[in-house]
Amino acid sequence: MEITVDDLKRMLPEPDLLKPTDDYYLTLARYIDKLWGSMKVFPELTDAERKRCVLDLTGYYQDVVSDAGMWRAFVRMCRKLYGRPVPFYDEPDDYVDSELNLIDVQFIIWYSLESALGFNGLVSPYDSDLMRFARQVHKLFDFLYDDAPSAEDFQMLQELDLADKEQVRDIFRASGWLFWHSYLLRPVSKHAYEREVAEEDELTVEETLTAEDRLRTTFQQPTGPLALLVDEWLRLVVDDRLPRAEKLTPVPDHKYYKAMKHAVGDVIAFCRTYDELERFLSEDLRWGSNPEGHLPQLRDFSNFVLYADRRKGLIVAHDVAQYIRHASNACYDAREAADAAHTLVMEAGKCPVDLVRYLFENDLLPDAKYPAGADGKLLHDNWDFFARMYLRNFYRAD
């Protein structure tokens, strides 16, 4: 396998301009690849998957050495959300934000491989090959760190002023590059929005500015490992500004929330069949009879969950009750739950995110396990992160 300068430049802000630092980082990428080969890690991966991971590691290193801000933004947001710099791994005493850290390298390898393999939960963050390879890559990066040159391409980010109206085109270019080409956001963007487009047919940053559909995707769809919009990422990277928290004004309890509490003394209920669902709606929630059915579009489904949110009202999900262990749930199947409860945070559209959040926060999915290594603790400790990364716009649904 050969890594070319075109491979390297394709993921940089100015791919058409050769910079003096390109040779350095191309040599580094090739050395990482040789290290991979000599260690005989992940022998099952294709050359393309291996190359992608090597390039993502190189991109991460360029970012950290240049203090371009992408990794710093990710760490800051993780600290806000989860109280630690990266998912999965305990923070060591010597961790330094915005600098080189072993657990950061571990995460980048996991994230890159998980994306290359289709975001199917096929890679464990604790895989022995991953951990062994990460230690050696970190040693290499650490050895070179003090003398590694700042990647000139990243000056574009450092020179941006998001309040300057005369920089609108530069802001659009930076947004397109972040979304479609950067090592941090590209894995999700490519998988979610251009999975069928061959790498050689992908649009450049300049072409993105004139492609209406792609530009709309760039600014309207969440991406990256934390399901943020590109303008939120850009503000984090350039201005170190966290996304604004939604301000919820007090509202009266929704009528369906009160109806559920009155009917079953809880905010959640379960129905095995559609007929049971119709009976519950008609009698328990007092919707009255309807010859056509209240929710005829759900007639061919089963294993229903009804969840009443105090603000949003009634949520009905189908084909998920079998995963939920609850005293009143006759649909629960421990074997099915152990096999497939993880799909609630990995399959977009399978279950409304408000219900997913309620189930995890109330420990109603005790059998759920992350597929790689079948680790229940991994999934339960990181369910919100997994939901963000795998569900994307479904996670952001209001």
Record the tokens describing residue 220, joined without a space.
Answer: 């309207």
Distance from C-alpha of 245 to C-alpha of 215, rounded to nearest angstrom: 26
Q: What is the pLDDT of residue 374?
A: 75
Q: What is the pLDDT of residue 153?
A: 82
Phi/psi at 174 (nearest 5 deg)?
A: -65, -40
- pLDDT tens digits for 141-166? 999 999 999 998 888 888 899 999 99
The DSSP code for 284 is: I
Q: Do residues 223 and 177 make contact, with C-beta atoms less than 8 angstroms apart?
A: no
* Nearest residue to 87 (alpha-carbon basis) of 70, 96, 74, 97: 74
Distance from C-alpha of 301 to C-alpha of 320, rounded to nearest angstrom: 10
> Residue 113 is which amino acid?
L
Q: Do residues 336 and 323 make contact, with C-beta atoms less than 8 angstroms apart?
A: yes
Q: What is the pLDDT of residue 238?
A: 95
Q: What is the pLDDT of residue 398?
A: 66
Q: What is the pLDDT of residue 362?
A: 98
Mean pLDDT score of the chain: 95
Q: What is the pLDDT of residue 206?
A: 87
Q: What is the pLDDT of residue 248?
A: 79
Mark the ranges of the chain whose per-residue pLDDT is less than 50. none
- Alpha-carbon Rg for the chain in angstroms: 24
Q: What is the pLDDT of residue 245?
A: 80
Q: Do residues 122 and 372 make contact, with C-beta atoms less than 8 angstroms apart?
A: yes
Q: What is the pLDDT of residue 98?
A: 87
